[in-house]
Chains A and B, each alone.
Chain A
Amino acid sequence: MKFLKSTCILFLLLVISFTGNAQTADEILDGYYEAIGGRDAWSKVEGFKYTAKVNQQGMEIPVEMVQMKGGKTYTKISFQGLNIMQGVFDGETLWNTNFQTMKAEKATTEQIENHKLENNDFPDALLNYKENKYDLELVGKETFDGTEAFKLKLTKEPMMVDGQKVEDVVYYYFETESFAMIGSETDITEGPMKGSISQTKLSDYQEVDGLMIPFSMNDGIKDGPSQPIVIEKVEVNPTLDETLLAFPSEAVPTAKPANGEPGKGGDKQ
Chain B
Amino acid sequence: MKKLILLVVLLVSTTLYINAQDSEVILKGKEMFGDMSARQIGPALMSGRISDLEGHPTNNRIIYAGTAGGGVWKSTNGGASFNSIFDDHIQSIGVVKVDPHDPDNTIWVGTGETWTRNSVSIGDGVYKSTDGGSNWKKMPLKGSERVSNIIIHPENKDVVYVGELGALWGDSEDRGVFKTTDGGQSWEKIFYIDQKTGCADLVVDPNNPDILYASMWEFRRTAWSFNSGGTKSGLFKSTNGGKTWSKIHNGYPSGKLGRIAVAVAPSDSNILYSVIETEKEETNGLYRSDDAGASWKKLNGDFGLVVRPFYFSRIVVDPKNPDVLVKGGLFGSISRDGGKTFKNPGRMHADIHDILFDINDSDRMYFATDGGVYRTWDGGNTLDIVSNLPVSQFYHISIDNAEPYNIYGGLQDNGSWYGPSNSPGGIEARDWNSVGYGDGFRVLKHKTKPIIYSEMQGAENVWRYDMKLNQNKTIQPLPIKGDPKLRFNWNAPISLSETHPDRIYIGSQFVHMSEDMGDTWVKISKDLTTNDKSKQNQADSGGLSKDNSGAENHCTIFTINESPIDDKVIWVGTDDGNVQVTKNGGKKWTNITKNIQGLPQNTWCYHIEASVHNAGTAYAVFDGHTKNDKNPYVFKTTDFGKSWSSIMTDEVKGFTRSLQEDFENPDLLFLGTETGLYITINGGKSWSQFTNNMPATAVHHIEMHAGTNDIVMGTHGRGIIILDDVSPLRNLTPDVLAEDLHFFKSDPYTMVEESGFGGGSSELQFVGPNRNRNARIIYYLKKRHIFGKMKMEIQDMDGNFVSELAPGKSKGINVVTWNYLTKTPKMAKGKTFTFGGFTSPRAPAGKYKVVLTKGKKTYETDLEIKYDENSVITAAERKKHQEVTRKLFDMSEDLAYQVYEMDEMLAVAEKESADNSGVKKIADKLINQLNALKSRSVITTGDNYVGAAEPELREKLATLYAKVAGGFEPPSAAELENMSLLEGTFNDGKKTLEKIKSGPWNKFSKAINTSGEELAKWKSKAEFLKA
Contacts and interface: CB of A to CB of B under 8 A. Distances in A.
Interface of A: 6, 9, 12-13, 16, 55-60, 79-82, 99-103, 139, 143, 145-147, 153, 164, 167, 169, 171, 175, 178, 180, 182, 187, 192, 194-197, 201, 203-206, 212, 215-216, 218, 223, 228, 230, 251, 253, 255-261, 264-268
B1005 interface: no
A215 B789 contact: yes
A267 B803 contact: no
B172 interface: no
Contact of B692 (A55, A223, A257): A223
A265 B939 CA distance: 8
Interface string B805-820: 1100111100000010
A101 B947 contact: yes
B250 interface: no
Interface in B665-699: 692-693
A258 B31 contact: no
A20 B50 CA distance: 44
Q: Which of A80, A230, A253 has the most CB of B within 10 A?
A: A80
A59 B9 CA distance: 59
Interface stretch (B594-602, B779-787, B870-878, B990-998): B779-787
Contacts of A223: 37, 692-693
Give the size category of B's interface with A.
35 or more
Contact of A139 (B135, B806, B838): B135
A206 B935 CA distance: 46
B806 A55 contact: yes
Contacts of B927: 259
B30 A256 contact: no
Q: Which of A16, A57, A99, A167 has the most CB of B within 10 A?
A: A57
A97 B833 CA distance: 14
Given A57-B821, A265-B940, A259 B931 contact: yes
A59 B840 contact: yes
A101 B944 CA distance: 6
Given A55-B804, A58-B823, A267-B947, A258 B931 contact: yes
Nearest to B83: A195
A203 B812 contact: no
B944 A180 contact: no
Contact of A187 (B132, B804, B832): B132
Contact of B132 (A82, A164, A167, A264): A167
Nearest to B803: A58
Nearest to A164: B59
B735 to A, nearest CB: 20
B76 A80 contact: no
Q: Which of B81, B104, B783, B786 has the most CB of A within 10 A?
A: B786
Contact of B833 (A13, A56, A80): A80
Contact of B819 (A13, A57, A102): A57
A264 B475 CA distance: 74
Given A80-B833, A145-B809, A205 B786 contact: yes
B12 interface: yes
Interface in B912-944: 927-928, 931-932, 934-935, 939-944
Contact of A80 (B8, B12, B834, B935): B834
Interface string B81-123: 1110000000000000000000011000000000000000000
Q: Which of B77, B692, B787, B823 has the most CB of A within 10 A?
A: B787
B851 to A, nearest CB: 15
22 contacts: A9-B5, A12-B8, A57-B821, A58-B824, A80-B834, A80-B837, A82-B830, A101-B945, A145-B784, A167-B131, A175-B784, A187-B134, A195-B82, A203-B785, A204-B788, A206-B787, A255-B830, A257-B941, A258-B931, A259-B931, A264-B935, A267-B942
Nearest to A187: B134
Contact of A205 (B30, B788, B803, B827): B788
A59 B781 CA distance: 28
Contacts of B819: 57-58
Interface of B: 5, 8-9, 12, 29-35, 37, 59, 74-77, 81-83, 104-105, 131-132, 134-135, 692-693, 763, 781, 783-791, 803-806, 809-812, 819, 821-824, 827-834, 837-840, 927-928, 931-932, 934-935, 939-950
Contacts of A59: 823-824, 838, 840
B8 A256 contact: no
A171 B135 CA distance: 10
B576 to A, nearest CB: 41
Contact of A146 (B31, B74, B804): B31
A205 to B, nearest CB: 5
Contacts of A101: 943-945, 947
Given A12-B12, A255-B940, A258-B940, A146 B34 contact: yes
A187 B7 CA distance: 50
A195 B790 contact: no
B944 A102 contact: yes
Given A194-B77, A195-B81, 12 more contacts: A9-B9, A58-B819, A80-B830, A195-B74, A195-B76, A212-B787, A255-B941, A258-B932, A258-B940, A265-B939, A267-B946, A268-B946
Contact of A169 (B134, B787, B940): B134
Q: Would you list the 6 A-B pairs with minimal beta carbon distance, nearest first?
A: A265-B949, A58-B840, A228-B806, A81-B829, A146-B811, A258-B935
A230 B834 contact: no
Contacts of A206: 787-789
Contacts of A258: 928, 931-932, 934-935, 940
Given A139-B135, A187-B132, A146 B35 contact: yes
Contact of B943 (A100, A196, A255): A100
Nearest to B786: A180
Contacts of A216: 790, 806, 809
A143 B29 contact: yes
B823 A60 contact: yes
Nearest to B939: A265
A79 B945 contact: no
Contact of B840 (A57, A146, A153, A259): A57
Given A255-B830, A259-B932, A203 B83 contact: no
A57 B823 CA distance: 8
Contacts of B803: 58
